[in-house]
Structure formats: C-alpha cells, structure tokens
Structure 1
Amino acid sequence: MRGNEILPTEQWPQFLPSSAPGQWLPDPLGPGFEYTTLDFGADAEGPLVATVVRYLPRQRFGWLNFKKFKGVVLSVHGWSDYFYNRQLTEFWHAQGYCFYALDLRHHGRSLRAQHELPGYIEDLKALDMELDAAMELVRKAHPGLPVVAQGHSMGGLILSLWIERTHAPIQALVLNAPWLEFQGTAFLRIPINGLMEAVARSNPRRKILATQFDHYWQSLSESAQGQWDLHPIWRPAYAFPSTAGWLHTILEGHAQVAKGLNLSIPILLLTSKESHLSTTYSAVMQHADSVIDVNQTRLRGLKLGSFVTLSQIDGAMHDVFSSAEPARATAYRDLRLWLKMLRD
C-alpha cells in the first residue's frame, strides 16, 4: 500500500546490500524500519544470507522504550514472497508487541544477483539455522519477553514444523492461511511425492515444468487488481521456479502435518471463508483464497496441536491481512480478540 512515508517499490534496489555483523541499516519500507543480515557463508546458489527486519518507530523524545512492551512477534512470509505489510506491523505495535520479520534465504531482501533459483531449498530442516539465529537475536534484544510466531502460507508450514522439531521457546503461533496440504488433498500428494523423491535424489535442482498462473499476484498487486505496492523481483507475478528438491521437502512437511503434530501452545489459524481455485483469473479471487483449499487447511490445522482456534474471514483472499476491506478489518478484529484471550 502506498503512503506518505513509504517509498514505492520501483525506487527500491533489486538487491539490498548485506549489513556488517550487528549492524542495522535503513529498510526501504520506510521510516521506522531497519534490517540486518544473517550471514551463513555460501551454498550452491551463492551467498547464503537471511534478513531480519524490525520496526523501531521514533517517539517524540527519542527511540521507543522496549521495556513497555508485552511481547515480541517474529513473522515469516510465504513462497515467492517477502515482508511488505506495514499495516500489519503497526497493528502489532499498537497491541504492545515489538515486531520482527524474517526474509528467508533466497527470498526478498535475502536474494542476491548470483541466485539462479530464487527461493531454492531442498530440506526445510536447513531453515532451522536462520530461524534459530533470528530467535536468538530477538531474545537477546528483549530478554524475558514472550515471543509469538506468525507465518503466512509456506511460512506457516515452516514455523509449525520448526517449533515441533526444535521445541523453540514460542508462546503462541498465528497462522495466516498456512500451506498445510498439497492443493487440499493427500490423494495427489502421495504419488507426486514419490516421484519427486526419486528425481530429487539424482538432481534436487531440477526444475519442475508446470503451468504457471498469476492469479494471486493479480489479486494482490496494485499494478493489477489489488491494493499493494509489490517489489517486482521479490514478489513476482509468477512464482519462483519449482524444483524437485523444494517440492519434495514441502510434500514431506505436509505428510508430517497429516500424521499430526504435538504443539501444546495456543494456535490461531485464519483463512478465508472459501476458496476459488481455477486456471483463469476471476474477480471472485479478490474475495476468496485462490491458492489453497481452506476447508482442508482447517482440517489439517486441527492436527497441529491441542489448542487450535479457527477463524474464517468472509471475503478474504489468500493473505487475510492483505485482503480488501471489510475482510481485513475482520481479520484484525479476530486477532485482537485472540490476543486478549492470551493475556487473560
């Protein structure tokens, strides 16, 4: 979304420079936003970095006093995506939370010119490295404050599995249309995963040839039918190329969720009320999820843990917090009520 304090993305650089260790640089999202890079050396794609963005608004008499906050949020984006939602940040800030977002390796601010396969990952467990590092950064900056994790789409899957696997000290989990099953059905997932496993063993970087759709980008971008100013490389019209290794590890994650996780923390799962999956763009996609099957997602969500709250947002699209009004306001209302429950 455009605003007086937000630079349009056409003025953003294609690739952001890395910071020195511990250095925070002004983020192009605008005043109050800074970023720092987490350097992990290199991988087959080139420089291996992740990027943490924080919201640190100036107050009238200097920087914000962190001691006044109730908690911290660590947010993770979805596939072919990055953190861009300033309004979501300001919501959390108003609720009394410090806000941090992680742009994963090969995504968004962590993309580098050498990366031939943006978004590439062949094992979700490898992301523990940057999630652990971001968590350590947050806890050192805010000792004693509880941390709420927030994930959209693929980020919701990644966070759920990470918390289960590592027992990360997360107080609660907010899932915004998490990608918990392959297009809503295990009947396709199981045979496709078998094929991808065989291909990934020999060449995990092999691209999967499939028809590409720009439906979601059309519903999101102000350059099409949406309301958001999106970086053309970090959130492209067509998703990053799928590879055998990436698809195999995603499907393995879906299989773990289908078997059931054992998360004991409170979970809020928000989705649109309905999906509209089609090979052609329709105006209906402005008010429905055009990416995942929300009914199957809610069923899978109930297998994440023992304390799951479901919120169905009438008129929302895939990213409920990027939906048009009044759906967006409803999503914020439900999140606010759930946070009040946590505090009570």
Structure 2
Amino acid sequence: MKHFVVPESSNWPDFISSTCPGQWVEDPLGPDFEHQTLDFGTDAEGPAVATLIRYRPAGFRQRLGRKAQGIVLSVHGWSDYFYNRELAAFWHHHGYHFYALDLRRHGRSLRAEHALPGYVDDLADFDEELEATLELLRKEHPRLPVVAQGHSTGGLILSLWIARRQPEIKALVLNAPWLEFQGTAFLRIPIHGLMEAITRTNPRRKLSGPEFDHYWQSLSTDSHGQWDVHRLWRPRVAFPNTAGWLKTIFDGHALVAKGLKLQQPIFVLTSDRTHIGTTYSPDMQHCDSVLDVQQTRLRAMKLGSFVTLSEIPGAMHDVFTSGEPARAAAYRDLSLWLRMVGTAR
C-alpha cells in the first residue's frame, strides 16, 4: 500500500469552508486528495451541505486511463467521516476512480451552526446528496459502473437508498453494516415504539444514557489505535442520540428485516466475533466492539439474493481499520470477490 505523509488532524480546522460550485480544492488528507462542497441550501438544522472527496494521485490518468474498471462511492458511519487513505489507494490499484461522501452534518460537512451533528429524522434525507453525487460521477466518468461502499450506518443508508430509489449501482460492498439493533428485534420493537411516541412531540430530544469511548480508544492514535482521527469529526464520544434519529434507524432496521430484494451482488465483511462492554479492553482491538456480528450476518441475508459473507478473524468494527493480519485478510477477500463478480481486472 502507498505510504502517506500528511499533516496531523490536530492541525486541521474544526470547520472547513465551503467551495464554490463545482470547484475542487486540496483536501486536509493531503495532495492526493481533493474535495468539493455540494450545497443544498438550508434545512431545519441549518446549512444543508455535503462534501465529496476524491483520490487523484500523481499520474492517476496514466495508471487508469481507458483501463478504468469503474467508480467507487464510499459512505462513512455514524459520528464519522472519510479518513482512510489506504482504502482509497486499494480501490485505485484495482482500477477504480475513488470518491467518498461526508454526509450532511458529518465530518467536512459540519458547520458551526449545527447544534446536533449528524442529525436527521429520516434517512431518506440523504437521498439528495447521494443522487447529486451519482449524477456528478456519471458526468465525470460516463459509462463506467458504480460500486457503492458503506460502513456501519452508511451501509444501512446505502442499502435503503438503493431499495427505495433504484439507482444504477452495479455492486454493493458493506463493511460491518448496521442492519439490526444490538441484540435482537425483540429489543428493537418496543424501543422503536417508544421512540415513535417521543418523536411525535419532540424528535430532537436528546436521549440520556451512559457515554462510552471504548471504540474511539481502539481506533485513535491518541489512545490505543492506529488512526489519526479528527477530534470533532470522529469524536471520543459519539454524537448525541436523539429520538428522531433513533426512530429513523429503527425504521430502516424494520425494512431490512422484511427483506430489501436488492438485485446487485453484495459483499458483507464483519469481524468473527463481538465484544461489547462499557470500558475499554485490549481485546477490543481484535473484535467488533460496536455491533453484534451474528445479527449483522443474519440480517445481511435479507438484503438480496446474491450476498457473500466474509468473516475476518481479529477484525475491528470498521474492518479496514483493523490491525494486521486482519486488515490484509479483508483486502484479500475483497479482491477475490471483485474478481469473482467481474468488477476488477
């Protein structure tokens, strides 16, 4: 994999400025990355902007050129943003133009006016930036197929978008997608009802509860992890949960449980085991400390008729942030799957 030398995220601003329409500017990730703002005016939470990031290493046209296999659109999870340079380089190596989207009120799309980072009360609100991005990619790279890639909540958002809107997506790669509430549907159903009742009167109501930082500890170089993550964009404690946001997540889980009937080939990566606790443990470097992987794999089979499961021993929640040898195993399995479904050279 390519070695990257870039400024530490501690030197990045809390909020980045919006670009002019259609303007690409150098991204904080370094000279091989650019971003542009997608501006949708305002919504009930303030500026409605998303940020599209692209990977353009030196000489990328010569390396891809007419041999390009397609385009990848990557979507992050909750309380998250795109920062994985190695993942972009992997896709580029396999012949793909790589793009990532920081959804509204996440990462580069956060603005000082946003009182509730990440908040939406309907996951369909993200359709606007997903479809605007898809249109832009079609113009930039006509006739190339698009592969959608989503992590955690991003995997749920992409799956529901494809089921609802039927965009022209050739394949779907899901990295530990959040497809069911931790535990079982038996827990989700009563909590869903409670969130529906609260949402009728105050969807923005913050839900009180314990705050945990163990996943951040397993991820960040400021603790036990290997990744330099922005203090505001990937915070130590996740964005506040609200009744409206949790209700729309449960709405999505209920739809997945009924079956989405997606037609695309789907590749789902997870760790081989779960360790959910209230405090950090070194074992969390080698397992999913956020989601129940058994429930994830069970619900993944409800997504469509062509689902491939990859179980990565020793992987973390975000499989592509795991330590070695788990991370190498994840890239190996993804490479094999791409060849199997005919989307890589």
> Taking structure 2 as the reference length, what is the TM-score of the superposition?
0.97
Letter in 1 for 2:281: S
Query: What does residue range 169-180 of structure 1 map to in structure 2 within 5 Å?
Result: 169-180=168-179
Number of the residue aligned with 1:6: 6
Give the Cα separation in 1 of the matches to 2:323 and 2:276: 19
Residue 99 in 1 paired to residue 98 in 2? yes
Pairwise mapping of residues 177-326 of structure 1 onto structure 2 (< 5 A)?
Answer: 177-326=176-325
Alignment coverage as a number of residue pairs:
343
Aligned ranges 1:131-150 → 2 under 5 Å: 131-150=130-149
Q: Deviations over 1:238-258 (max 9, x none)?
A: 000011110000000000001
Measure how far apart 1:66 and its partner are. Answer: 4.3
- Work out whether residues 70 and 145 of structure 1, in 8 Å CA contact, stay in contact via their aligned partners in 2: yes
Q: How many Å separate the matches in 2 of 1:273 and 1:64? A: 36
Stretches of structure 1 lacking an aligned partner (at least 5 in a row):
none
Name the counterpart of 1:130. 129
The alignment partner of 1:143 has SS state of coil
What is the CA–CA distance in structure 1 between the aligned matches of 2:103 and 2:240, rounded to whole Å? 16
Task: Give the superposition deviation at 1:216.
Answer: 0.7
Residues of 2 paired with 1:67 and 1:10: CA distance? 39
Instruction: State the secondary structure of the residue aligned to 2:90.
Output: helix
Unaligned runs of 5+ in 2: none
Aligned AA (2:196): E
Counterpart of 2:110 in structure 1 is 111
Is the Cα–Cα contact under 8 Å of residues 184 and 297 in structure 1 kept in the other structure? no
CA deviation digits over 1:29-72, x for unaligned, max 9? 01210001110111222111000000111219x77654331100
- Are the equivalent residues in 1 in contact too, given 2:108–2:233 (CA < 8 A)? yes
Give the RMSD, CA atoms, in angstroms. Answer: 1.5
Kept in 2, the 8 Å contact 1:316–1:327? The answer is: yes
Aligned residue in 1 for 2:335: 336
Moved more, 272-281 or 71-80: 272-281
1:290 Cα deviation (Å)? 0.3
Deviations 1:198-250 (A, max 9, x none): 11111111101111111110100010100000000000000000111100000
**Separation of aligned partners in 2, 1:339 and 1:65:** 17
Residue 233 of structure 1 aligns with an amino acid whose one-letter code is L
Separation (CA, whole Å) in 1 of partners of 2:177 and 2:280: 22
Q: Distance in 1 between matches of 2:7 and 2:87?
A: 17
Given the two structures, how large is their TM-score scaled by the length of structure 1?
A: 0.97
Q: Which amino acid aligns with 1:192?
A: I
Distance 2:89 2:7 in 1: 17
Alignment of 1:74 with 2:101, yes or no, is: no
Structure 1 counterpart SS, 2:269:
strand
